Chain A
């Protein structure tokens, strides 16, 4: 991702940042008094926490959130077009780091794993630039992002593997919710539990084995990435998890770079 900034795949996380900016612009009213993310609500939530957890937590209302997300929208588009290899692309990514950090602190709740991964990637990029932004520093950043992604998939797979609910088929239940579900699909899986178990076990096996891409032959790496793309696109369509594809698949170039370094 950082070592190969010209690749289009290395810019996918910025699509997620564009979407985040659009979504937060639509929700900026929730940051006003009386809203879910009002200063008073976030003030209550962070009241007993340490000073560093409260940085920016109650700073700014819908106007500032709107401005920050407008800036993020523009910066993410610049980074998307320019990549992380040009001065303007680098500057745009660092602007996204600042706006994302502000949003995370100001909102505190309602975030997703995709947002978290995206923010960590941006912080990583910031540290890489702080270390000089050399090719070696970029490779170190890529290795870290790859290691985190492998940890994410493995932890997700392993925690499902040890959960009886998942081993017996959990998706019919998940799909019967309005938030994450598709009623028809939920009912189909409820009628055919073997399909539910098959899907759950396929997910568990793929997630647990994903770290092996580091030592696998190139065709296997590509196949694993392809399964990941299908999985995240399915999660977007079926469950409405629209930003996971951009965050997780956006890190695949780092995994590729790391796998090639190990050869």
Chain B
């Protein structure tokens, strides 16, 4: 009985390792379909900061259109960064910032040529919008709009660039037909 079990796990591990090795090529393109069937992220991609290392911080900023008209100033969904003195041992802020990065990278992977407004149906885009709506809820806005901003601390000052600007969305879930200001 033990021999059968040992043979069975050996077979599982050989297949698992081979699929994991394949997944390291072309950012996992060869195993994309298979990964859609395997839960819990059991097929790893371990290129760690390569080929393009994170050289910027990703931030989500949003603004709200008030009932009386006019847009608020831009505000940031800020999770903070752990102070240097403790982040080497406990760093829960990393999870928040990684989650935002995961969502933004997923939005960025959407090819614009697929459909001009196809991004509105992408789950990561909708999740970002949901986050913004939750953040803006206390303002009771008519509409919200968000942007993804990347920042880095340069030699002299903070560099930043806007990498994505959403459409204005009616608060509550339907698309707003408002003029961008």
Instruction: Name the contact of A173 in the complex, choosing from B1, B20, B53, B92 (C-beta under 8 A).
Output: B53
Question: Is the pair A36, B89 in contact by a Cβ cutoff of 8 Å?
Answer: no
Q: Does A252 contact B (CB under 8 A)?
A: no
Chain A residue contacts of B92, Cβ below 8 A: 23-24, 26-27
A202: CB under 8 A from chain B? no
Contact assessment for A116 and B131 in the assembled complex, using a CB-CB cutoff below 8 Å: no
> Which residue among A155, A159, A179, A190 has the maximum number of chain B CB atoms within 10 Å of its CB?
A179
- CB pair A134 B17 closer than 8 Å: no
> CB-CB < 8 A to A186: which residues of B?
153
Q: Number of residues in A with C-beta < 8 Å to the partner?
A: 84
Type the 1/0 row for A121-149, where 1 means its CB is closer than 8 Å to any CB of B: 00110011011101011001101100110
Q: Is B103 an interface residue (CB 8 A)?
A: yes
A197 at the interface (CB under 8 A from B): no
Binds A, one of B8-16, B64-72, B162-170: B8-16
> B47–A155 contact, CB under 8 A?
yes
Determine if B13 and A144 form an interchain contact, defined as CB atoms under 8 angstroms apart. yes
B residues within 8 A CB of A156? Answer: 46-48, 50
Could you mark each residue 95-132 of chain B with 1 if its beta carbon is under 8 Å from any beta carbon of chain A, else 0? 11111101100000000000000000001101100110
Counting CB contacts under 8 A, is A37 at the interface?
A: yes
Nearest 5 interchain pairs by C-beta: A110-B99, A131-B5, A173-B55, A163-B51, A240-B87
* A-B contact list, 28 entries, CB within 8 Å: A22-B90, A23-B90, A23-B91, A34-B134, A41-B130, A44-B130, A45-B123, A47-B123, A50-B36, A52-B37, A105-B39, A111-B98, A112-B98, A127-B12, A140-B6, A140-B9, A141-B9, A144-B17, A155-B46, A160-B49, A166-B51, A166-B53, A170-B55, A173-B152, A174-B49, A176-B154, A179-B57, A183-B153
Chain B contact residues, CB within 8 Å of chain A: 1-2, 5-6, 8-10, 12-13, 16-17, 20-21, 24, 36-42, 44, 46-57, 79, 81-82, 84, 87-92, 94-100, 102-103, 123-124, 126-127, 130-131, 134, 137, 151-155
